[in-house]
Amino acid sequence: MSLLDETKRLLRYYKIIPKKRLGQNFLVDEEILHKMVCYASVSSSDTVLEVGAGFGFLTERLAENAERVIAVEIDERLVKALKKRLKTYGNITILHGDVMKISVPHFNKVVSTPPYSISSPLQFWLLNRPFEQAVLSFQEEFARRLTASVGSKDYGRLTVTTYYRADVEILDAIPKESFWPSPKVDSLIIRLRPRKSPFRVIDEEIFFDVVRAIFTQKNKKLRNAIKPFFGRFRLPSKEAMKIADSLPFRDRRPRELSPEEIGLVADEIVRELRKSGLL
């Protein structure tokens, strides 16, 4: 029985109608599943995290190669199916809940086809955790944002944050027909490898806060885009304006600034805030 036929059978058996809000599109392409396991070089020494395990097709293939698989699924109906389908595997731990809210045991690799609806928060969540590599499928538009060039329409907070934390490589394409139900767009398989940042900043927390602030208004000049950031310090408007006008690249737009240049901006803000006794 093909994975497509098996998916349809399981949906009928468990009386499940895929929920659009949960991004429930099941990967039913055997070749793509095999590629994802291979791209991650999953071996018997690995503990692999899978987010959005669905009916466990990828989970099974990971379990055949890994020491342990941690399969996380938010939908209680699918958790029931997973526990029944995968009960013969002694190396699979099934967790019910939102991966970003529950306690997840240590893992060293991630292999997953997460729901599109959590792509961005999952990416930020992963970048704050230690792991060796992650092989993930994302909506094509989202995946392109991870590797966007400075000044392009896809360049933004996600690009800068990812660049600071990890190397990103686009590995392969997944046509929308490889999923059931088929989404409206194609996907890409990407690989993340955490690394030391290619540049240093004085205060990482301030750097990430600056990145978040300026890319909410990325088409304004930096001096204007940064002003809301100072609200958290309760700086008088005149003082905030003075700092904004002293920043390097103040007349350029955030979308035109490289990650390294944004790092310089953040460092200057730290120096000014320290001078004012606010840090």
pLDDT, one tens digit per residue, over 177-191 is 999 999 999 999 999
Which domains occur in the chain, in start order? 3-194 (3.40.50.150), 204-275 (1.10.8.100)
Question: How many residues are recorded in the chain?
Answer: 279
* Mean pLDDT across 48-76: 98
**pLDDT greater than 90 at residue 277:** no
**pLDDT greater than 90 at residue 62:** yes
- pLDDT tier, 237 (very low <50, low <70, confident <90, very high otherwise): confident
Residue 102 burial class via C-beta count within 10 angstroms: exposed 0-12, middle 13-18, buried 19 and up = exposed
Residues 89-106 have pLDDT tens digits of 999 999 999 999 999 999
Contact 28, 4 (CB under 8 A): yes
Contact 206, 214 (CB under 8 A): no
* Mean pLDDT across 60-87: 97
Amino acid 234: pLDDT: 84
Q: Kindly provide the b/e burial profile for residues 216-252, where b requires at least 16 CB atoms within 10 angstroms of the residue's own CB.
A: ebbeebbbebbbebbeeeebeeeebeebbeebebbee
Amino acid 30: pLDDT: 97
Contacts of 204 (CB under 8 A, 6+ apart): none
**pLDDT greater than 90 at residue 259:** yes
Would you tell me the crossing angle of helices 157-165 and 204-214 to the nearest 10 degrees? 160
* Mean pLDDT across 110-117: 95
Amino acid 13: pLDDT: 95
Strand partners, 111: 135
Cα dist from 215 to 125, 158, 232, 242, 257, whole Å: 19, 9, 17, 21, 11
Provide the percentage of residues in the chain whose pLDDT is more than 90. Answer: 90
Amino acid 105: pLDDT: 97
- pLDDT tier, 174 (very low <50, low <70, confident <90, very high otherwise): very high
**pLDDT greater than 90 at residue 236:** no
- pLDDT tier, 276 (very low <50, low <70, confident <90, very high otherwise): confident
Residues 13-41 have pLDDT tens digits of 999 999 887 788 999 999 999 999 999 99
**pLDDT greater than 90 at residue 5:** yes
Amino acid 278: pLDDT: 81
Amino acid 38: pLDDT: 98
Cα dist from 31 to 81, 102, 119, whole Å: 23, 31, 23
Residue 166 burial class via C-beta count within 10 angstroms: exposed 0-12, middle 13-18, buried 19 and up = buried
Amino acid 114: pLDDT: 96
Amino acid 228: pLDDT: 87
